[in-house]
Structure 1
Amino acid sequence: MSVLIIGDVGALEGMFHIGDEAMFEVAVVELAQRGRDAIGVSSHPAETAARYGIPAVPRLGFEGLGRVEAARRAEHLLAVAAGTARLEPEDPARETIAALDAAEALVNAGGGNLASRWPTHVFERSTLVSMARMRGLPVVVTGQTLGPDLDAPDDAVVARMLREAALVGVREPDTAALVASWGVPATLNVDDASFLGLSERDPVRGAGGGVVVSLSGWFAGRPADEVEQRIAMLVDAAALAVGPVSFHAHFGPLDPTAPPRGDAAVHERIRTRMSQPSTVVPTGTSREAADLVRSADLLITCRYHPAVFATPAGTPVLALSADRYTRIKLRGALGHWGQRSVIDLDDLPDAPRLLADLTARADEIRGEAAERLPGLRAASQQWWDTVCAVIEGSAASAKR
């Protein structure tokens, strides 16, 4: 039997989201190393199946629905699971439910962070968890950020979902505190993708890769022209203080010859404002993205997973937060490794001071990462051992 894994994966319209794919990839790999096959739930099942070499099925059909319609959809799917309703032949959930029927467990593999700003994920994840529990399947929630904006009734829905889970893994202290307030035990670890492709023999890469910049267009309502100009000035300063600058789109087109979209479009606007030269590294794969930032002398990012990849290798990170949500994630990613340089976009004029501090402490930062790495890697491996032990224990109980 297989484990059904839901992640926010599947490249649509040629656009690839590195972090979400990375967490899903790690779940597939870690389960496979422990003798568990995976089936993925994906926005683009054929693309996901080809990329990871596993079967994949569609999502449950909540995309594009308003809250009222999504609530009705959830109610209908739960009635189907209970055997009191039927799906239409063309319903996209038909394959997903069939995969759930054949599974021995459900893993919610990060991505699609559960917050009221993304109600589709709240409805989809909670509904799938309830359907799994109706079948007696164990549920694991791993690598998760929750909130901080969880309005009623989303707060109650997510809390109930976690209470139904056999294991809950979170990745930053703020989420751990929120889960504890619901009375749910959770394991706090680094992000699941932290060690993707990281060598056991030479885990801390040598510097020499210059400055890598990975940004998004989420400025939380601030004037884009003003923010982009200030970031351009910061990157110029980094180029002069540290070395050559490369821009890398965390969410960008798979085709390197395609017109810039997503983060790549933001990067092009900033590059035109800079006085120093820069280059562009194509989005590529999650592993390539991790290698890039681990060999850099400095990472400037407002994206989360570039920081997740960089910090285990001791790459100094200057993180730019737009709001409470991004601040919680970035502080969490850096804090596991002893880094703390997270600055709000409103405080960009103070960024040169942080830049100078980071460059002065580069050796100290790399040394701290090397010291923390064995314990954090071991904790991550222990987590996946526990996940598979829970799945095995549930399967053994079902046979008796």
Structure 2
Amino acid sequence: MDPLKIVVLGDVGGAGGYHLGDEAMAEALVEGLAARRPLEVTAVTGDAADTERRYGWGTVARIGFASGDGAAEAAERASRAERVLAGAEGDTNALAWDDPAWDVIHAVAAADLVVVSGAGNLNSAWPEHIAERAALGALAARFSKRLVVSGQMLGPTLTETDGVTLAGLVNGAALLSVRDRASRDLASELGAPRSRTSFLVDDAMFLAPTKSQVPLPESGYVLATFAAHSGDAPWETVSGGYATLLRTILRESQLSVLLLAHHGTDGEDPTGDYLVHRRLAEELDDPRVVELGPTTAREAMDLTRTAAAVVSSRYHPVVFATGTAVPVLGIGVDHYTQSKIRGALENVGLADYALGVGSLVHGDLTPVVRQLLDDGPQIRDHLRAVSEVRREELGRWWDLVIATAALPLGAEPGPAVSLSDVPELHADPAWAAEARGLADWSALISRHGENSRRASAEALRPVLADALHAADRERETLVLRDELRDVRLALDEARTEIEIANREGEHLMEAALEAAERRLVDAEAELDLARSEIAALHRSRAELDALMRTRSMRALRLPRRVYSRVRFVLRGARDV
């Protein structure tokens, strides 16, 4: 069988050093397709030499679009897209003779299939990436080549202009796969047909590992990755939260902590994750905290599968953990990172383990860490069962891509693939309820305004305080409802005994109980109202005491006995 010629555009050869997660998605895509048919790969890359050395693929440079969210930059992107398409249509004067777009045009013209590899950059934070992918899609349409857009997160933030551009890309794709529910819904809003939109896990979830040469601690280890992006809170506060989290792990276990960078440069002047990890290691000053050097995606998969747990503010460490059945805690620092991490954990039934920045800054991390480590075997069993299902679904996606590439032009591809339902594994509500409240509030802040991710500590602090207060009220309400239920059960028992009392005693006790029950009717609606109703029960006790002093009650033995029982129940409610 002749090799299938594919052009792949992903975030390979990126600026600022090897980006482990982005490279993993392109590598996993090629791995998945090559297992089904021989391939001849041409990658659109930012660093041809690095990509050729790592993977042995053919390469062309990126077309290149202006970054920035200003009107001038947007106009420049639109103009360049028009000139690239004009060049593809035969206008030799549309582009300079040495413009890198010519190589992309020629590669697409010679390809059997054009593929946009998975990422989370189809977002208005990076309009240049939207423009680059839309231009590749337009070239595929110009040369009548099938376009596949694989493993994407769409949004969550899109300007009107970027939304129109993205709509053209997803509508032009013969196949589209997204990796979270929110992206599936946004794709539908942008006009992508559901019949061509698959909903799956991240493409790199089951990337085959390569044996790492890192010496591993005998006591076991937690694998940790923290990005330099602090999102909705000041960096000093977020980095302090990371240090607290790691101290908690070291205190609650005998495990070491291996710091595994996913992006940045190592050395005397580190950048990105390496810089964050260097400062954390210096602050913690513990021999069990170890910084790791540069690691490939496949080596990271190997280190992940033997870890006791993974904690990360980056997305792909979470994906790797779920694919290797390792307990994981994800921390989103803004709406964008929280959406990615929560989506990955929802896909495997572990949504409770997706924390927001509020939990990191204001929550008590001790019970979270204890459950993550203590419930490790249960979490692993859950993830193993889920992974069997998710691996099969992702395999059907690669089958669909290969089958679609072989179809004659004009033929409809097979049906889309979607995630099936899997069981949820819930965390202890004692901390999970607070975590959800804090995550929802921090996401709300992040969505407000163009500068939301630079919200000041002063603006953020009172909102997070409100979230904590709301979570406390929720827990108190649940406790009070249980206690009120017990009171009602006792009152019902007393009511049954009153029915056998004489008529005078029955009448007196019935009236008292009905008065007490009327005061409890709305107690479950709000905590404050519930407390006022408990106070009303105290008044009912006084009424019963007064009744007891009447001649009728002193003369009737059975009502006196029932009275004593009710009085005992009401005394129990006094301290609620």
Distance 1:328 1:352 in 2: 24
Match of 1:8 among 7, 11, 21: 11
Superposed, which structure 2 residues align to 1:1-400 within 5 Å?
A: 2-12=5-15, 15-33=17-35, 34-64=37-67, 66-84=73-91, 85-111=93-119, 113-184=121-192, 185=194, 186-197=197-208, 209-242=220-253, 243-253=255-265, 257=267, 259-274=269-284, 276-277=286-287, 278-340=289-351, 341-348=353-360, 349-394=363-408
Distance 1:150-1:208 versus aligned 2 partners, 3 A rule: farther
Q: State, as a whole percentage, how many aligned pairs show the same letter.
A: 35
Following superposition, the deviation at residue 71 of structure 1 comes to 1.5
Q: Deviation of residue 257 (structure 1)?
A: 4.6
Q: Alignment partner of 2:122: what SS?
A: coil
SS at match of 2:364: helix
C-alpha displacement at 1:221, in angstroms?
4.5
Instruction: Check the 8 A contact 2:45/2:61 in 1, yes or no.
Output: yes
- 112 and 227 in structure 1: CA distance in 2 versus 1, 3 angstrom threshold: closer
- Paired with 1:373 and 1:353, the residues of 2 have a C-alpha distance of 27
Q: Residues of 1 paired with 2:219 and 2:391: CA distance?
A: 25
Larger radius of gyration: 2
| Higher percent of residues as strand | 1
Indicate the structure with greater helix content: 2
TM-score (norm 1): 0.92
Structure 1 range deviating more: 269-278 or 34-43 = 269-278
Q: Deviations over 1:303-330 (max 9, x none)?
A: 0001111112221111111111111110
- State the shift of 1:258 in Å: 5.2
| C-alpha displacement of 1:64 | 4.5
- Taking the aligned partners of 2:244 and 2:324, their CA distance within structure 1 comes to 27
Q: Which moved more, 1:153-162 or 1:138-147?
A: 153-162
Task: Between the two structures, name the one with larger relative contact order (CA 8 Å, sep ≥ 6).
Answer: 1
Gaps in structure 1 of 5+ consecutive residues: 200-206
Q: 1:112 touches 1:121 (CA, 8 Å); kept in 2?
A: no
The Cα shift of 1:333 comes to: 1.3
Structure 2 CA distance for aligned equivalents of residues 208 and 173 of structure 1: 39
Q: Distance in 2 between matches of 1:193 and 1:273?
A: 33
CA distance in structure 2 between the aligned counterparts of 1:183 and 1:328, rounded to whole angstroms: 22
Q: Distance in 2 between matches of 1:317 and 1:209?
A: 15
- With 50-59 and 179-188 compared, the bigger mean Cα shift is at 179-188
RMSD: 2.0
C-alpha contact 1:193 1:308 (8 A) present in aligned 2:
yes
Check 1:63–1:383 CA distance in 2 against 1; reply closer, same or farther (3 A cut): same
Provide runs of 4+ in structure 1 moved above 6 Å: none
CA distance in structure 2 between the aligned counterparts of 1:174 and 1:328, rounded to whole angstroms: 8
User: What's the CA shift for 1:396?
Assistant: 10
1:45–1:58 CA contact under 8 A, matched in 2: yes
What residue identity is the alignment partner of 2:205?
A: S
SS of the equivalent of 2:304 reads: helix
Q: Distance in 2 between matches of 1:153 and 1:128?
A: 18
Encode CA deviations 1:143-185: one digit per residue, 9 max, x unaligned: 1000000110111211221111000001111111111223422
AA of the residue aligned to 1:3: I
Give the letter aligned to residue 64 of structure 2: G
Deviation readout 1:70-117 (Å, 9 max, x if unpaired): 111111112112224532111111111111111111100013620100
How many residues are treated as equivalent by the alignment? 387
Residue 11 of structure 1: how far off its partner (Å) = 4.9
Worse-matched range after superposition: 347-356 or 122-131: 347-356
Letter in structure 1 aligned against 2:187 = V
